[in-house]
A and B are shown apart, each in its own frame.
Chain A
Amino acid sequence: GGPGPRPPPGCPQRRLGPRERRDLQHEILAVLGLPGRPRPRAPPAGARLPASAPLFMLDLYHAMAGDDDEDGGSRERLLGRADLVMSFVNMVELDRALGPQEPHWKEFRFDLTQIPAGEAVTAAEFRIYKLPSTHPLNRTLHVSMFEVVRERANRESDLFFLDLQTLRAGDEGWLVLDVTAASDRWLLNRNKDLGLRLYVETEDGHSVDPGLAGLLGQRAPRSKQPFMVTFFRASSSPIRAPR
């Protein structure tokens, strides 16, 4: 616990030059599996409030780091066999509430360009917060999620079913939808945004506007905005090119 060994008196204390310091940092980033130093855009002043994704990821971090002392056993169970967990916050939200007879839906688009190469997806989930519905809706609601595989100009887009959750109109809390099945396509065309479409129906099959059902979108408070979380497993430990 004391300070590290003092260099023997004969050893000159050498300060690193700026270029050596940069090389050293680059080397450490490579060990951390990073191509370079990330430059996150400083959140606008108003966005200082804690956001849903970092809050969720911080819980995950404490769960993972807390298990370090028990050397991994329960950690492995808790986080599957993930080496990397990524939460995607860049999202465009489209609301579609056409005429009364048309189905209502909410669509979310995610930028996947930051997905690291060489990592296999072990699980992916879409998280959206639900408040108790303020409208006199049937007690039971069915929330279904689809991937938008291809958009069509003159007709409905091609959709791929991902998950269905049943809940009550009065429920409150985070709704977790499993979107792992959509990840097969990500790895093929990484630079295409991922589109996820969400429908809400009553027990007797009527389409309900997700907002009326109490599902919060981008306009919700930052700590309750929807986001996506993906768990990756390193397919092979990245061999660092020797410098």
Chain B
Amino acid sequence: AVRPLKRRLPKKTNELPQPNRLPGIFDDIHGSHGRHVCRRHELYVSFQDLGWLDWVIAPQGYSAYYCEGECSFPLDSCMNATNHAILQSLVHLMKPDAVPKACCAPTKLSATSVLYYDSSNNVILRKHRNMVVKACGCH
């Protein structure tokens, strides 16, 4: 049988981007299939849109953000990847059908405060923990 030609594997560049360099416009911030790498995106929760400004005094809404993007090997450092995520994305490369990619999820959350009237017109200030995404990463 004719030996199939050896497919030349694309040369792997092992160099990782500088640790704290955010992907520049010429960097490949698109993972596979042209999608974005895991990062934080703007998400504004508007109490105005929810029609609540008759009882919410402040704020009118707040930036909650959300995480979205690809966790594709090599998970470079701006993706805050856990060691487990690096391992999982490596195993995913070898067994893509058996092991999914690592997930893009919040790595740091902070609180937000809401000031509102209750049904007896008392004024209430409530702090809600874990309502704002401060950083995303691969888990």
Which A residues are within 8 Å of any B CB, using their own CB? 1-5, 25, 28, 31-33, 37-43, 53-54, 57-58, 60-61, 64-65, 68, 71-72, 82-90, 111, 113-114, 237
A90 CB contacts on chain B under 8 angstroms:
120-122
CA of A58 to CA of B57, assembled, Å? 8
B121 CB contacts on chain A under 8 angstroms:
40-41, 43, 89-90
Known A-B contacts A58-B58, A60-B125; the reply to A68 vs B111 at CB < 8 A is yes
Interface class of chain B by DSSP: strand
Interface class of chain A by DSSP: loop
- Among B1-9, B48-56, B89-97, which stretch is in contact with chain A? B48-56
CA of A5 to CA of B34, assembled, Å? 14
Min CB–CB distance A186 → chain B (angstroms): 14
CB of B59 within 8 A of chain A? yes
CA of A25 to CA of B49, assembled, Å? 11
Partner of A38, one of B41, B42, B116, B134: B116
CB of B127 within 8 A of chain A? yes
Which residues from 97 to 139 on chain B have a C-beta closer than 8 Å to any C-beta of chain A? 110-129, 131-132, 134
User: What is the number of residues of chain B that contact chain A, defined by CB distance less than 8 Å?
Assistant: 34
Given contacts A61-B115, A83-B129, A111-B120, 6 further A-B contacts (CB under 8 A): A37-B52, A37-B55, A43-B121, A64-B127, A65-B59, A89-B121
A4 CB contacts on chain B under 8 angstroms:
41-43
Partner of A85, one of B41, B42, B110, B124: B124
Decide: A33 and B126 in contact? CB cutoff 8 A.
yes
A41 CB contacts on chain B under 8 angstroms:
119, 121
CA of A1 to CA of B119, assembled, Å? 36
Decide: B112 and A68 in contact? CB cutoff 8 A.
yes
CB of B70 within 8 A of chain A? no
B63 to chain A: closest residue by CB: A1
Decide: A88 and B122 in contact? CB cutoff 8 A.
yes
Q: Which of B115, B117, B122, B129 has the most CB of A within 10 A?
A: B122
Decide: B68 and A5 in contact? CB cutoff 8 A.
yes
